[in-house]
Amino acid sequence: MTISEEQIKEYQKDYILTTWSKQKDLTPIVVDKAKGIYFYDEAGTRYTDMSSQLVNMNVGFGVEKINQAIKDQLDEYAFIAPTYASKSRSELAKKVIDLLPEEFGKIFFTNAGAEANENAIKIAKMYTGRNKIFSRYRSYHGSTLGAGNLTGEPRRFALEPGAPGFVKFFDPYIYREAIEFDSEEAATNYYIAKLREQILYEGGQNVAAIVLETVTGSNGVIIPPKGYLPAIRQLCDEFGILMICDEVMVGFGRTGKLFAFQNFDVIPDIITFAKGITCGYVPLGGVIVRKEIAEKFDETVLSAGLTYSGHPLACAAGVACVDYYYEENIFENVQNVGSILGETLEAFKQKHKSVGDVRYIGLISAVELVKNKTTKEPLVAYGQDPDGIMKGIIGELKKRRFMTYSHENIILIAPPLVITEAQLTEELKKLDEVLTIVDETYTL
């Protein structure tokens, strides 16, 4: 059966519930093909993927090594249950563990990031015997029941009233803080003191885990100030709490390191991952635990399971993908091209009245838009955009085939990690044009 581009679009609108959208507003692009950092519609129009789709297509489209690994696994068998030993599953687990600090022991594979966070919570509760989980307000950890309650931003509201035992605390969001700090270290001392106080009020003996995106992703690319993550580590050690780093978005090279926590002189107890392990070629996620946590389940039943845990096709893609990062020196490219991204965004901050702040690490960055630089009044209020201002700005970028998304008053820029300096420069000129429009239209 052959269907036209218009029929594909109609079927999408008529028969599919599309994520995070008012369905009547949708006008989807029908994608015909994709390669590298670009994808194309049937008319041959080229679009540049400046958000790595959902910050998961780290190595871009059409990597033949990954495609071939999936095909080779398919020729052997497509699926075998998690209780059987599978070459691709075993090889990927060992490969990832060998790349990590020696403290880590085993992986529980999941299908995606939300399931990884769900099972990390469950493992933390089973290991500690405690029932409370701390996470931050400006966080997104998934939209299933547990991960959605772990989430702090408005996407959790559809799950409320929420499950008991989830406690929220504030991010070290220095740009938006009412207090003027003398240094990053001073900010860290403030936020950690407040968190310690909150742990005492909740009863430290009741807290199983503190869960945080190592670098806050879609909620603003909030980078922890100096000493913040080591101080969280010290709090966890003081109260016997597990430290869980959600690396679903920022793991696998996004910050220029294999995992983002490796930038901050800290080792968590549990790591959750997904996105960059296979870059979307086949869905896969997982929970990595320290050796002593893994040993707990030598004599205790691990009450966690998924039909597709460690799916062989996904793990085959994962092995090829992890190899590709190192064979193609992807992390070095992130560091080199990421420095150019940072320099350019800093220049935009000086040039444009609408740019209140820019934040970046590796190839994940945020441009925070304001009406007034002095007052820092956001271009749209938190959780509100009744006039569709941000939608219009993203629309202007789309007209220029610069494809990304916004969250609150923030434009996210997180291109595939294979982007070249020339490609980045070409695309940032488009962003510069659109920011000029924002300056002229919305600033005071």
Any residues with CB less than 8 A from the CB of 78 and at least 6 apart, and which?
Answer: 312, 313
Q: Distances from the Cα of 282 to the Cαs of 30, 51, 416, 431, in angstroms?
A: 20, 19, 17, 31
| CB-count exposure of residue 372 (10 Å: 0-12, 13-18, 19+) | middle
Q: Are 171 and 52 found together in one domain?
A: no
Cα–Cα distance measured from residue 276 to residue 251, given in angstroms and rounded to the nearest whole number: 7
Q: Which of 310, 327, 344 is the last residue of a domain?
A: 327
Rounded to 10 degrees, the C-alpha dihedral 157/214/276/272 comes to -70
Q: How far apart, in Å, are the Cα atoms of 27 and each of 11, 17, 39, 161?
A: 12, 13, 17, 33
Q: Which residues contact 56 (CB under 8 A, 6 or more apart)?
A: 249, 274, 275, 276, 279, 280
Instruction: Using alpha carbons, list the distances in angstroms from residue 143 to 148, 157, 198, 396.
Output: 4, 10, 25, 29
Q: Is 282 helix (H, G, I), strand (E, B) or coil?
A: coil
Residues 10 and 135 placed together within one structural domain of the fold: no
pLDDT tier for residue 443 given thresholds of 50, 70 and 90: confident
Q: Is residue 317 over pLDDT 80?
A: yes
Q: Is the pLDDT of residue 444 over 80?
A: no
Q: State yes or no: pLDDT of 362 exceeds 90.
A: yes
* Same domain? 341 vs 298: no
Last residue of a domain, one of 327, 358, 381: 327
Q: Are residues 181 and 283 in the same domain?
A: yes
Looking at the structure, tell me whether residues 73 and 32 fall in a common domain. Answer: no
pLDDT of residue 114: 97
Which token pair is 410? 């923030």
User: In this predicted structure, what is the pLDDT of residue 316?
Assistant: 98
Q: What is the CATH number of the domain that holds 172?
A: 3.40.640.10
Domain that holds residue 382: 5-59+329-442
Span 149-189, pLDDT tens digits: 999 999 999 999 989 999 999 999 999 999 999 999 999 99
Q: Residue 431's pLDDT band (boundaries 50, 70, 90)?
A: very high
Q: What is the pLDDT of residue 25?
A: 84
* Neighbour-count burial of 396, counting CB atoms closer than 10 A to its CB (0-12 exposed, 13-18 middle, 19+ buried): middle
Shared domain check, 267 and 151: yes
Q: What is the distance between the alpha carbons of residues 280 and 258, in angstroms, rounded to a whole number? A: 17
Residue 227 has pLDDT above 90, yes or no: yes
280-297 pLDDT, tens digit per residue, is 999 999 999 999 999 999
Does residue 49 share a domain with residue 38?
yes
124 and 244 in a single domain? The answer is yes
Residue where a domain stops, chosen among 297, 327, 357:
327
Residues 28 and 105 grouped into a single domain: no
Report strand pairing: 285-290 vs 410-413. unpaired
Tell how far CA 1 is from the center of its chain: 37
Residues 163 and 19 grouped into a single domain: no
SS3 content of the chain, % helix, strand, coil (to 5): 45, 20, 40
Report phi then psi at 216, rounded to 5.
-55, 130
The answer on pLDDT for 1 being more than 90 is: no
In the prediction, which pLDDT does 144 show?
94
- Regarding whether 357 and 256 lie in a shared domain, the answer is no
Helices (H), 45-183: 52-55, 64-76, 87-99, 113-128, 145-150
Query: What is the biggest distance separating any 2 CA atoms in the chain, rounded to whole angstroms?
Result: 66
- Spatial CB neighbours of 444, under 8 Å, sequence gap ≥ 6: 371, 372, 377
User: Does residue 61 register a pLDDT over 90?
Assistant: yes
The 3-state DSSP class for residue 355 equals strand
Kindly state the tokens that stand for 87: 């070459």
Does residue 416 have a cis bond before it (omega within 30 degrees)?
no
What's the token pair of residue 7?
Answer: 């029929």
pLDDT in tens, 364-423: 999 999 999 999 999 999 989 999 999 999 999 999 999 999 999 999 999 999 999 999
The strand pair at 270-273 and 242-246 is best described as parallel
Helices (H) and strands (E) in the chain, counts: 13, 16
Looking at the fold, whether 45 and 69 belong to one and the same domain comes out as no
| pLDDT of 2 strictly over 90 | no
Number of domains in the chain: 2
Mean pLDDT taken over the chain: 97
